[in-house]
Amino acid sequence: EDQERLREWLPENNLVAFIAEDSILPRASGIDDRPLDNNTIPFKTPDSLAYEVELPNAGVIKGMGIKEGITLIVGGGYHGKSTLLGALESGVYNHIPRDGREKVVSLDRAVKIRSEDGRVVSNLDITPFINNLPLAKDTSSFYTENASGSTSQAANIVEALHTGCELLFIDEDTSATNFMIRDQRMKKLVSDEKEPITPLIEKIRELYVNHKVSTVIVIGGSGDYFEIADQIIMMDSYKPRD
C-alpha cells in the first residue's frame, strides 16, 4: 500500500522517482538480488533534493526526489552511480520487507534502455535517430537480423515510446558511444550530411518537451550532457550530492 501510494504521489509533485532516507541500495552481487549485509552505507538525502510524503502505514517519511526532465548521475568509478540507477530501475516493482528498497519507487511506465548488438529489428521507424544511410536504405520501416549497437539502442527507444513510456533509464557503460555523443572535432572531420546517426544528446530535450519523456542517465565520461541537464546528482563515496 505504501509503495503504491508513493507511485501515485510522484506525478502529483512533478517527480519521476523517489529514494527514501536510509534505504539500502547495494545488492549482494550481480546475480544475488538480496541486500548487501555488511559495510553498507544507508542512503542519505541532500537537503536541496529532500521531499516529505505521508504514507498510509509508514506515516511521514523523507527522501530524495528526482524531478521530471533530464537527470544526470555522475561521479567516479565505484562510487555508486550504477547502484543508484539499478535501484531506480527496480522501482517499477514492489519489494518485499527487508529488501532495503521498499520505499524506492519510479514511475511504472519506465524502461531501461541499452545497446543490444545483434538483435532483430522488424519494420520500425528509426528515422529520428538513424537516417540517410548509404545506398539509400530505408529507415522509416527498418529491418535487420543483426543490428549494430547504435541501431539497436535507437530501436529500443522507439519501441519504448510506442508502449507509452514516460521515463528512460540509460547507463553510459551499456550504451553505444556513437549513439550517445558526437563531439565538435568529429563533426569537423565527418560532416552532418555524411553521418546517418543523430546522437541522443541532440534528441533528449525534444523527448521531454514534445513527448513528456524524462531521462535518467549515468554519465562518467562525457561532460557534454551537462549543457542539457535539468539536474545533476553526483555520487561521492555512495552519498548523493546536488
- The count of C-alpha atoms lying within 13 angstroms of the C-alpha of 119, restricted to the half-sphere facing its C-beta, is 16
What region, left, alpha or beta, does residue 133 occupy, with left being phi > 0 and alpha being psi -120 to 50 degrees?
A: beta
Local structure of 148: helix, strand or coil: coil
Beta strand pairing status for 214-218 and 231-236? unpaired
> In a structure prediction context, what are the per-residue pLDDT tens digits for the chain, which is 242 residues long?
999 999 999 999 999 999 999 999 999 998 999 999 888 899 999 999 999 999 999 999 999 999 999 999 999 998 999 999 999 999 999 999 999 999 999 999 999 999 999 999 999 999 999 998 877 788 999 999 999 999 999 999 999 999 999 999 999 999 999 999 988 888 888 887 788 999 999 999 999 999 999 999 999 888 899 999 999 999 999 999 99
Alpha-carbon distance of 242 to 233, in angstroms, equals 5
Q: How many residues does the chain have?
A: 242
In tens, the pLDDT along 54-89 reads: 999 999 999 999 999 999 999 999 899 999 999 999
Block residue for cell numbers 523523507: 62
Query: Is the pTM higher than 0.85?
Result: yes
